[in-house]
């Protein structure tokens, strides 16, 4: 018999894993709402051009990692490898700039797809939580966006996060820098991979994040963007750092940080984890400012800034750091019926309690006390309601508190109120 298997680099989420994914999503989205963001959901696939034009033809994401296919009408379609270009497309298409507010602040959560070599923290389908802000260029906004990510990480209880930050300058800085890189790499290019040889002419900055040549000393000694920043870009970056210094975020200016996507200008940043195992140095999230993307997609000159973090990476780090709180509220009540008629009474009670927002389970089949208690051992309910012949006659059901192991008789009509009161005292409801 053929055994079906999931596609390499993908994961099934069930049991604790799906609860963890939702927990991260809930904390991130409830936190970001306090920063004035509203949710957006764009399609999982887009016209391929959306990514080629904006993420950049020479980026690894576009040139090697996209899931691109032709649909039945011969259109080129791509499963989104990231959210920024797709959200920008939606922002423009839906004329969100016409909103009376000066800024449009959007957040999203969902799967992204990249054909990468699967390894620790790297998947072919992964989830991102991301934010994008359109409408203003301001160092204080850059700092605010970084703070929003840091607040989410803190609310999740993650420790040992470091912010790496750099400026890759405005377009003019980048033009000077590209020329400097061309001059520098010209003499060494024959020692580098074929991709880098091509990038020398098409987009020399992408040589800096080449995975094949990442340990090559030629890369390490390459000119640094900082020496080519215009005065405007320099003072913008100084101001971002000035604001960051007012807060207690551990950060490091990393002059080698350029980010692998073409749309960035000026501020770029990444959050990495410091740990003593294979997760050390892993990028939990990254982002930056992009002043020219909207202009290149439309006739509007609107700057943007944003970031995204990888939910699977956050999940792995929270596992390592034992950072999970109140993951699974569990089951409130299990109902036990000791004969067929009692089971039917229990079945009715279960429906009634569920409509009043309690989580209730019962064993549909067995009538013996012993086998029904097996379900309690698995589900760990806060309360067990026991119904037998005597209880039916008197209309007083036995209610057992599993934490104190005490049992009392409660009138059938008062069970709902009793359970609600007790569970809210325990903080469960
Ligand atoms: P990115 O750095 O390509 O940026 O991805 C952001 C985060 O997604 C990474 O730091 C990492 O945590 C996670 N990630 C990326 N690839 C994988 C993978 N194959 N498996 C698991 N996790 C992964 C962007 O995507 C930009 N759109 C961020 C942004 C938003 N910039 C401005 N706005």
Give pLDDT tens digits for 83-101: 999 999 999 999 999 987 7
The angle at the Cα of 286, spanning 314 to 226, to the nearest 5 degrees, equals 145
pLDDT tens digits, 111-123: 999 999 999 899 9
For residue 61, the ligand 1 atom closest to its alpha carbon is: 3
pLDDT band at 275 (very low <50, low <70, confident <90, very high): confident
In this prediction, residues 191-196 reach a mean pLDDT of 86
For residue 132, the ligand 1 atom closest to its alpha carbon is: 33
Ligand 1 center to residue 198 CA distance, Å?
25
CATH number of 16-170+230-321: 3.30.930.10
Structure confidence at residue 149 (pLDDT): 98
Task: State the Cα–Cα distance between residues 176 and 272, nearest whole angstrom.
Answer: 29
Ligand 1 center to residue 309 CA distance, Å?
6
Atom 25 of ligand 1, residue of closest alpha carbon: 82
Mutation test of ligand 1: which of 313, 314, 316 has the most ligand atoms closer than 8 Å to its C-beta? 313
Structure confidence at residue 330 (pLDDT): 75
Structure confidence at residue 279 (pLDDT): 86
In this prediction, residues 348-377 reach a mean pLDDT of 93
pLDDT band at 326 (very low <50, low <70, confident <90, very high): low
State both tokens at 420: 């609600």
pTM of the model: 0.88
pLDDT band at 317 (very low <50, low <70, confident <90, very high): very high
Structure confidence at residue 429 (pLDDT): 47
Mutation test of ligand 1: which of 128, 133, 158, 315 has the most ligand atoms closer than 8 Å to its C-beta? 128
pLDDT band at 327 (very low <50, low <70, confident <90, very high): low
Pocket of ligand 1 (CB under 6 A): 82-84, 114, 116, 121-123, 126, 128, 130, 132, 261, 283-288, 306-310, 312-313
For residue 128, the ligand 1 atom closest to its alpha carbon is: 8
Residue 153 or residue 2, greater confidence: 153
* Within this chain, domains 16-170+230-321 and 333-425 share the same CATH topology: no
| Mean of all residue pLDDT scores within the chain | 93
Q: What percent of the chain has pLDDT over 70?
A: 98
Counting other chains too, the contacts that 134-137 makes at CB distance below 8 Å and 24 or more residues apart are: 134/88, 134/91, 134/96, 134/97, 134/103, 134/104, 134/294, 134/302, 134/303, 134/304, 135/97, 135/101, 135/102, 135/103, 135/104, 135/302, 135/303, 136/102, 136/103, 136/303, 137/289, 137/291, 137/303
pLDDT band at 328 (very low <50, low <70, confident <90, very high): low
For the chain, the structural domain boundaries read 16-170+230-321, 333-425
Atom 29 of ligand 1, residue of closest alpha carbon: 307
**CATH (one of 3.40.50.11270, 3.20.10.10, 3.40.50.300, 3.40.50.800) for 333-425:** 3.40.50.800
């Amino acid at each position: 018999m053929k055994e079906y298997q999931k596609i390499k680099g993908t994961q099934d989420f069930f049991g604790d894993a799906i609860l963890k994914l939702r927990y991260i999503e809930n904390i991130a989205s409830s936190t970001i709402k306090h920063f004035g963001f509203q949710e957006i959901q764009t399609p999982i696939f887009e016209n391929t051009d959306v990514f080629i034009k904006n993420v950049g033809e020479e980026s690894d994401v576009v040139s090697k990692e996209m899931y691109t296919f032709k649909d039945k009408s011969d259109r080129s379609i791509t499963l989104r490898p990231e959210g920024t270009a797709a959200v920008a497309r939606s922002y423009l298409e839906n004329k969100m700039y016409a909103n009376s507010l000066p800024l449009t602040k959007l957040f999203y959560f969902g799967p992204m797809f990249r054909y990468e070599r699967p390894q620790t923290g790297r998947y072919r389908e992964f989830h991102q939580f991301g934010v994008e802000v359109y409408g203003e260029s301001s160092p204080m906004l850059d700092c605010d966006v970084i703070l929003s990510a840091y607040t989410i990480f803190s609310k999740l209880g993650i420790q040992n996060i470091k912010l790496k930050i750099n400026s890759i300058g405005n377009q003019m800085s980048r033009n000077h820098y590209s020329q400097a890189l061309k001059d520098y790499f010209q003499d060494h290019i024959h020692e580098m991979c074929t991709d880098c040889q091509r990038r020398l002419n098409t987009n020399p900055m992408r040589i800096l994040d080449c995975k094949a040549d990442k340990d090559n000393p030629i890369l390490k000694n390459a000119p640094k963007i900082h020496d080519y920043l215009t005065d405007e870009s320099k003072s913008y970056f100084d101001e971002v750092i000035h604001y960051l210094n007012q807060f207690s975020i551990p950060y490091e200016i990393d002059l080698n940080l350029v980010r692998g996507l073409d749309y960035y200008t000026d501020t770029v940043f990444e959050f990495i984890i410091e740990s003593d195992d294979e997760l050390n140095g892993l990028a939990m999230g990254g982002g930056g400012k992009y002043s020219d993307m909207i202009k290149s997609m439309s006739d509007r000159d609107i700057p943007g800034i944003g970031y995204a973090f990888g939910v699977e990476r956050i999940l792995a780090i929270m596992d390592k750091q034992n950072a999970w709180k109140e993951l699974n509220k569990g089951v409130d009540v299990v109902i036990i019926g000791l004969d067929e008629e009692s089971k039917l009474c229990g079945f009715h009670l279960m429906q009634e309690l569920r409509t009043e927002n309690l989580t209730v389970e019962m064993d549909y089949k067995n009538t013996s006390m012993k086998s029904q208690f097996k379900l309690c051992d698995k589900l760990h309910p806060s309360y067990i309601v026991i119904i037998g012949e005597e209880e039916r006659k008197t209309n007083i059901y036995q209610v057992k508190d599993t934490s104190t192991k005490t049992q009392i008789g409660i009138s059938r009509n008062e069970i709902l109120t009793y359970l609600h009161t007790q569970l809210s005292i325990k903080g469960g409801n």
